[in-house]
């Protein structure tokens, strides 16, 4: 710089300042501007995700409360024999008269649980009533599980079914 004249020094200093400003814009201002644009675009997406989380939280709390109610109902019904409980479910579905037999298959202990298995034979059942009965079993207050299901159509009327169901109930010991 010592060998340069005044005008040349101004041009070099101006060039250096332009280079510094260009580098500052390129590495500081432009990335910050791009980041702000990205964040502005993400705000609606994150708001919708937040609404979904709030909805799921409310649904979880509702289900938790309803499960507590079901748990209380199940505790109140714990003394009920499983055969009579299933007979009540069949009555709700309109199948009480269609029961041929209900046989307990035995009990077994598995850790803290007592497992009861029951075999049920139903005859001359319309499909709608079968669906209602299966719905009652799946949504009962007690821990019931359908282990086996055999469906045969009636030879005279295909809309009438003969059914054999194996149901297992679980109770804490």
pLDDT at 161: 92
Q: Which of 75-84, 134-143, 145-154 has the lowest mean pLDDT?
A: 75-84
- The reply to whether 59 and 89 lie within a common domain is no
- The reply to whether 7 and 71 lie within a common domain is yes
Separation between Cα atoms, residue 145 and residue 17, nearest integer Å: 79
Separation between Cα atoms, residue 131 and residue 23, nearest integer Å: 73
pLDDT at 142: 82
- For 123-132, what is each residue's pLDDT tens digit? 999 999 999 9
Q: Give the CA-trace dihedral at 46, 51, 52, 56, to 10 degrees.
A: 140
Q: Count of domains in the chain?
A: 2
Which residues does 165 contact at the CB level (< 8 Å), separation at least 6? 119, 120, 122, 146, 148, 149, 150
* Averaged pLDDT, 79-106: 85
Of 120, 108, 111, 113, residue with least CA distance to 170: 113
Residues spanned by the domain of 10: 1-76
pLDDT at 71: 59
pLDDT at 154: 80
């Amino acid at each position: 710089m010592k060998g340069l004249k005044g005008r040349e020094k101004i041009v070099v200093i101006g060039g250096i300042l332009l280079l510094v400003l260009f580098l500052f814009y390129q590495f500081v201002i432009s990335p910050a501007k791009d980041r702000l644009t990205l964040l502005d675009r993400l705000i609606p997406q994150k708001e919708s995700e937040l609404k979904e989380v709030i909805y799921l939280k409310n649904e979880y709390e509702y289900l938790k409360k309803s499960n507590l109610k079901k748990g209380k109902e199940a505790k109140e019904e714990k003394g009920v024999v499983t055969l009579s409980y299933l007979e009540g479910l069949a009555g709700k579905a309109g199948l009480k008269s269609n029961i041929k037999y209900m046989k307990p298959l035995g009990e077994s202990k598995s850790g803290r649980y007592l497992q009861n298995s029951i075999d049920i034979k139903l005859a001359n059942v319309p499909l709608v009533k079968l669906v209602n009965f299966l719905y009652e079993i799946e949504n009962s207050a007690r821990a019931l599980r359908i282990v086996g299901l055999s469906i045969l159509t009636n030879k005279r009327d295909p809309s009438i079914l003969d059914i054999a169901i194996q149901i297992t109930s679980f109770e804490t010991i």
